[in-house]
Amino acid sequence: MKKILLFILLAALALSTQAKVKLPHVFGSNMVLQQDKPVVIWGHADPQESVEVKLKGLTRKTVADQKGAWKVTFKAQKASFDAFTIEVKGDNTLLLENVVVGEVWLCSGQSNMEYTMQLRKGYKKPAVGVDQAEEELRQPENPKIRLFLVAKTKGSQEDVETNGWEIASPSSLAPFSAPGYFFGKTLQQQLNVPVGLISSSWGGSRIEPWTPLDAYQNSSLFKLETQNGETKIENAVAGEMYEAMIRPLAPFAMKGFIWYQGESNLMFEDARYYAKQKLLIDTWRRVWQDKNMPFYYVQIAPYYYSKRKDKTQHNVEALPWFWEIQTKCMDIKHSGMAVVTDLVDDLSDIHPSYKWEVGRRLALWPLALDYGQRNTVFSGPQYKSKKIVESSIILNFKYAGSGLQCKGDQLTWFEIAGSDGKFVPAEAKIDGDQVVVWAASVKSPKQVRFGWNETARPNFFNKEGLPALPFRTE
């Protein structure tokens, strides 16, 4: 009799572990759904199991395929703070509560994106002004902003590791990306809609692990390096973070991506970084089935790379050389770059602390280009053209905003060269929307460069307070 009861109990237990409808972790209570895009909900169940999903009075029914996969799609929803419940029902029922509709962004990169709201060992307080991250951690919870933190894992994973969606509060904010949060906070305040932020970053990571291996295998530039089963691009395993921390999130509807990465690629003076960033952007957009998804990123900050003990010995021009590559990445459609040359207290610290301003500057791009705030100035002055007039060079700029300004007595970090290509420090002055550059020792100038040193923290801005992009005219 005991054996029969044990058999019945085990059979019941086995049945209880079957026929369970499951959702990826990116779906959960407290989440934000992207407005104005179809809502795709997917998951797993037993093969041929019937699945019913209810969302705001709408119902979708489907049947899991032979592998147990299922998917339903709802029409696009409008942003609202009115929370609702999503019901997913098979042989079991799942309830996703306190769901809202608004704007969702993915925040990724290396340590300067991972940089947390609560200071960790090695992080420093800002030398100037109030630590806004510390102030934010004293605030009550804010249900207008929801956070989803992806845990760091590598290799092929069916799902991300996470604690799920959480309302912004001191406890959920403490381990969350500071630039990501302040980016989202700026959007939330400007747009007055719920904002959802997904943080998926890894300190010290290069760009190659965030792009899948097959993207490199199918690239004319990289495919020879991935023949014969090779999985590495310049000794970095392609896709190992993408497969665990990005791919399982797709195709969860989102507005776009923000990215803060590049330090680890500069450390071996990666001349192909433009091609790698374009490959990453193209791949992520393809996976999310939206070729126009915005991608905004941060130009890495001034830092003593020449004093590092890397395999490559850097000179003081390695960083501006890399800045030039990052500037070129803005040629990729629907991309933009925030410049942070002025946000550094200590050139020996690769993690500058003013992440609230980093996030704010990133947010200016979508506010202007994606959310219709056309009067928003979203970039500092960017070199456009030059004209040689006698012994001076006159420079023209895009993104002058309401005017150019010098934050000091005279402009710094301008250099000029003649036909010999030898640059010398130059004098420079603002003349309307132009800058005039000259040096007494160069009678026939040919070229100008600006901010062309790893220590350059120039004082050239537009009147909206956004710093000029480092450049060289040749």
Q: Tens of pLDDT along the chain (474 residues)?
A: 444 444 434 444 444 445 599 999 999 999 999 999 999 999 999 999 999 999 999 999 999 999 999 999 999 999 999 999 999 999 999 999 999 999 999 999 999 999 999 999 889 999 999 999 999 999 999 999 999 999 999 999 999 999 999 999 999 999 999 999 999 999 999 999 999 999 999 999 999 999 999 999 999 999 999 999 999 999 999 999 999 999 999 999 999 999 999 999 999 999 999 999 999 999 999 999 999 999 999 999 999 999 999 889 999 999 999 999 999 999 999 999 999 999 999 999 999 999 999 999 999 999 999 999 999 999 999 999 999 999 999 999 999 999 999 999 999 999 999 999 999 999 999 999 999 999 999 999 999 999 999 999 999 999 999 999 999 998
Taking the C-alpha atoms of residue 325 and residue 368, their distance in angstroms, rounded to an integer, is 24
The token duo for 315 is: 């000179």
Q: Tell me the C-alpha distance between 363 and 186, whole Å.
A: 6
| Whole-number pLDDT of residue 464 | 98
Q: Residue 15's pLDDT is what?
A: 40
What confidence score (pLDDT) does residue 57 get?
Answer: 94
* Residue 386 host element (H or E): strand 382-389
- Bridge partners, 258 (sequence order): 107, 296
Predicted pLDDT of residue 437: 98
Strand partners, 386: 395
Q: Is the peptide bond before 170 cis (omega within 30 degrees of 0)?
A: no
Torsion of CA 286, 290, 291, 293, to 10 degrees: -110
Q: How far apart are CA 22 and CA 46, in angstroms?
A: 10
Buried b (16+ CB within 10 A) or exposed e, 236-247: bbbbbbbbbbbb
Backbone torsion region of residue 167, taken as left when φ is above 0, otherwise alpha when ψ lies between -120 and 50, otherwise beta: beta
At residue 1, the pLDDT reads 45
Give the strand pairing for 32-34 and 236-237: unpaired
pLDDT at residue number 427: 98
Locate tokens 């006159």: which residue?
A: 394
- Check if the beta carbon of residue 445 is closer than 8 Å to that of residue 388: yes
Distance between CA atoms of 302 and 347, rounded to whole angstroms? 6
Q: Which of 166, 265, 161, 165 is nearest to 206 (CA)?
A: 265
